[in-house]
Structure 1
Amino acid sequence: MQIAVTIFLTDETVAPTVLARELEQRGFAGLYLPEHTHIPVERTTPYPAGGELPREYGRTLDPFVALGQAAAVTERLGLGTGITLVAQHDPIGLAKQVATLDHLSGGRFTLGLGFGWNVEEAADHGVVDWRGRRDLVRDRMALMRALWSEEPVAHQGPFGSVRASLAFPKPVQKPRGPVAGPRTLVGGAAGPKLFAHIAEYADGWLPIGGRGLAESLPVLRAAWADAGRDPAALQVVPYAVLPTPGKLAHYADLGIEEVVVQLPAAGEAEVLRALDGFAAFLGA
C-alpha cells in the first residue's frame, strides 16, 4: 500500500521544498495540499469538525505555488490537491494551472477536487447559489476538459463557455475513458449525487477519514458500473487518515492501494518526527 501525506502548509510551518525532499528520500508516495484563499472573520458557517477553526485555515499557502516548488526539488513524488475548491476558480485559469503543473512535474499531479464547506468564503468568490455548487463544479470540469483536449473543442454550459481554443501545455496524463487531464479524485460525503459525479468525470473518490467504506464502497462500485466504467479503474484514496496497523489492513482488505495520512501543521522538527512515526507503515 502506498502512503502519501497531507498537511496545511502555512507561513509558519515547514517549507514545501524541505518537506518534499524529505518525503521523496523516505519513500512516501505523494504530497497533497488543501486550499483556502481566505477565511472571512464574520463567519456563521460552523467548522465541520466542531469547535474553533484551527489557526492554519487562515494562513494556508496557495497549493499550486507550493506544489510547484515541491515539483522542482523532486523527481518521483506524487503531487496533489486535497482539495481544490473548483467553484471558487475561473475555470479557464484553473485549467491552465493544472495543465502547467502536470506538464512541469512530468505527469505527477492529482487533482483532488471538492465542493467546499465555508459559505462565506465561497460567496466572496461569487458562489451565491450554495445548494447548486455541485452542478457548477460539474460544468467547470467539463469546460476544463475541453481545454485539455488534444484538438480545439468548444464548451457551452449552464454556468460558462469557452470557444474552441489553442490551450497549451496539455496535461501529460492521457484520457481515461470519459476523463481527460490529470488523475482526478472527488472529495465529499458518500451519497448518490457524489457517486454520480465521480462516475461521470473522475478517476475515483477521496473520502475524508475513510469511515464507513465497507458500506459505501459497494454503492460507489454499482454507480461506477452503471456508468459503463471499467471496475478495475476505480480508485478510492482515504484522506487525512490517522493510521494504525489495523486500519491500514482493513483498507487493504477493501482493495485500497493508497492512503493519505495527516501531518501536523507545524515546523520542520515536529513534522519530521511525525514522518519518523509513519515510517513503520511504508511498504506495509
Structure 2
Amino acid sequence: MRIAVTIFLTDETIAPARLARELEQRGFAGLYLPEHTHIPTERTTPYPAGGELPREYGRTLDPFVALGQAAAVTERLGLGTGITLVAQHDPIDLAKQVATLDHLSGGRFTLGLGFGWNVEEADDHGVEWRTRRDLVRDRMGIMRALWADEPTAYEGEFGSVRASFAYPKPVQKPRGPVSGPRTLVGGAAGPKLFAHICEYADGWLPIGGRGLSESVPVLRAAWADAGRDPAALQVVPYAVHPTSGKLAHYADLGIEETVVQLPPGGEAEVLRTLDAFQVHVS
C-alpha cells in the first residue's frame, strides 16, 4: 500500500521543501496539504472534531504555493490538496493554478476537494452555504472546460466560461468523464456526495477512514450504476492515525493508498513521527 502524509504546514512548522525532501528519501508516496484562507474570530460554527479549534487552522500556508516549493525539490513525490475549498476560489484562477502545478511537477498533482465546514469563512468569500455543493459542481464544470484539449464552453447555474485558449494543460489525461489531474472528493458518505464523485471525480477522500466496510460497497454500486469503470474507482482514507491492523483492513477492501496524519510541529517532532511511520512504508 502506498503511504502518503498530510500536515497542517504553517509559519511555525517544518518548511515544505525540507519535509518534501525527507518524504521522497524515505519512500513516502505523497504530501497532501489542507486549506483555510482565514478563521473569523467571531465564528459560531463548531469545530467538527469537538472542543476548541486547534491553533494551526488559522495559520495554514497556501497549499499551492507550498506544494510548488515541494515540487521544485522532488522528482517522484505525489503532491495533493486535502482539501481545496473550491467554493472559495474563482474557478478560472483555480484552473490555472491546478494546471500549472500539474504541468511543472510532471503530472504529480492530486486535486482533493471538499465543501467546507466553516460557515463564517465561506460567508466572507460570498458563498451561500445552502447551495455550496452545487456551486462546487459548477466550478468543476468550468475548470474541466478550461482543461479540455480544445476550446470548450461551459454554462452553469452559478457561472460560465466562454470557449477559451487556456494553457498550460494538466499533464494527466482524461479518465472517463474526468479531465485534469486526479480528483478526489472529501466528505461524509451519502447519496449526494457519491453522486458528485461519480460525475466528476476519480474517487473518494474519506477523512479518518471509519465505516469503510459499509460505505465502500455503496459507493462502488453507485459508481457502476453511473457507467464508470469499476477498476478505476479510488478510495483514499485521509488523515489516518495508522496501525498495521487498520492498514491491513484497508488493503482487504481493495484500497491502495492511505494518507496518514503528521503533527503540525517543528522539524524535530515531524521527523520523529516519520521515523515511527516508516514501518508502514514498503
Give the TM-score taking structure 1 as reference length: 0.99
C-alpha distance in structure 2 between counterparts of 1:211 and 1:260, whole Å: 13
Is residue 2:202 matched to residue 1:212? no
Structure 2 counterpart of 1:237, which letter?
Answer: V
Structure 1, gaps ≥5 residues long = none
C-alpha distance in structure 2 between counterparts of 1:152 and 1:210, whole Å: 39
State the match for 1:229 in structure 2: 228
Is residue 2:158 matched to residue 1:159? yes
1:1-284 equivalences in 2 (<5 Å): 1-127=1-127, 129-283=128-282
Alpha-carbon offset, residue 28 of structure 1? 0.1
Structure 1 counterpart of 2:192, which letter?
Answer: K
C-alpha distance in structure 1 between counterparts of 2:270 and 2:90, whole Å: 34
Structure 2 counterpart of 1:209, which letter?
Answer: G
C-alpha distance in structure 2 between counterparts of 1:119 and 1:59, whole Å: 18
C-alpha distance in structure 1 between counterparts of 2:217 and 2:92, whole Å: 35
Deviations for 1:135-177, whole angstroms, at most 9, x for unmatched residues?
A: 0000000000000000000111100011100000000000000
C-alpha distance in structure 2 between counterparts of 1:220 and 1:41, whole Å: 37
C-alpha distance in structure 1 between counterparts of 2:162 and 2:7, whole Å: 37
C-alpha distance in structure 2 between counterparts of 1:94 and 1:22, whole Å: 28
Alpha-carbon offset, residue 131 of structure 1? 1.8
C-alpha distance in structure 1 between counterparts of 2:11 and 2:18, whole Å: 14
Deviations for 1:238-267, whole angstroms, at most 9, x for unmatched residues?
A: 000000010000000000000000000000
Secondary structure at the counterpart of residue 265 of structure 2:
coil
Secondary structure at the counterpart of residue 176 of structure 1:
coil
Secondary structure at the counterpart of residue 184 of structure 2:
strand
Secondary structure at the counterpart of residue 200 of structure 1:
helix
Secondary structure at the counterpart of residue 243 of structure 1:
coil
Alpha-carbon offset, residue 47 of structure 1? 0.2
Structure 2, gaps ≥5 residues long = none
Structure 2 counterpart of 1:117, which letter?
Answer: W
Alpha-carbon offset, residue 30 of structure 1? 0.0
Runs of 4+ in 1 over 6 A off after TM superposition: none
C-alpha distance in structure 1 between counterparts of 2:135 and 2:224, whole Å: 25
Root-mean-square deviation over aligned CA pairs: 0.3
Alpha-carbon offset, residue 132 of structure 1? 1.0
C-alpha distance in structure 1 between counterparts of 2:2 and 2:107, whole Å: 18
Secondary structure at the counterpart of residue 87 of structure 1:
helix
C-alpha distance in structure 2 between counterparts of 1:217 and 1:71, whole Å: 32
Secondary structure at the counterpart of residue 204 of structure 2:
strand
C-alpha distance in structure 2 between counterparts of 1:263 and 1:210, whole Å: 16
Deviations for 1:91-140, whole angstroms, at most 9, x for unmatched residues?
A: 0000000000000000000000000000000000000x212110000000
